[in-house]
Amino acid sequence: MPEKSFADALNEQIANEFAASQQYVGVAVYYDAETLPRLAAFFYRQAMEEREHAMMMVQYLLDVGEDIHIPDIKAQETSFSDGVAPVKAALHQEKRVSDEIFALFELAREVKDYRAEQFLQWFVKEQVEEVALMSDLLNVVERSKDNLLLVEDYIARESLGEEGSDPTAPPAAGMAG
Ligand SMILES: [Fe+2]
Ligand SMILES: [Fe+2]
């Protein structure tokens, strides 16, 4: 048997998702201070999404009757060497979260927790999208690193990261519907 229960592992992931949310607030604040409002808005939105991921996991644990731990808030980075660094860090973060989700998936299989496996399916798909989104943004930011106003135009023109509601998304605690 694995040394960790699935509920414990998911509780750790709740902490990771909240940390990701806080880190995106830190990135958004950095761009906001640099007067790059579209980049700021993009990351404020990402921060909300990460919080929602955490709350989906909270709702799942509520539904299956497991204990829930709401983690402490750790300080996150708000100063960066240049305008490219935050997006690089964001892509790195999304890749790490993908690995975390895969590890959870593996654990669910190992302990034959079919509810957990089904719940995680959506997150596997979500991580494909998030890594692709951050890779796209990194391409654009690297190409325009001497004039980030071009990135601002790109985000506005392409409505980058503004997806509609996803009917297949798991319910999030505290959000009706
Ligand atoms: Fe997430
Ligand atoms: Fe994410």
Q: Give distance in angstroms: CA of 65 to centre of ligand 1.
A: 22
| Total-model pTM | 0.94
Lowest mean pLDDT among 17-31, 53-67, 106-120, 163-177: 163-177
Q: How confident is the model at residue 177 (pLDDT cuts 50, 70, 90)?
A: low
> What pLDDT band is residue 130 in, cutting at 50, 70 and 90?
very high
With b for 16 or more beta-carbon neighbours within 10 A and e for fewer, the 56-76 pattern comes to: bbbbbbeeeeeeeeeeeeeee
For the CA of 131, the nearest ligand: 2
Residue 84 has pLDDT above 70, yes or no: yes
Q: 104: buried, middle or exposed (CB in 10 Å: 19+, 13-18, 0-12)?
A: buried
In contact, 122 and 20? CB cutoff 8 Å: no
Q: What is the mean pLDDT of residues 19-45?
A: 97
Q: How far is the CA of 2 from the centre of ligand 2 (A)?
A: 27
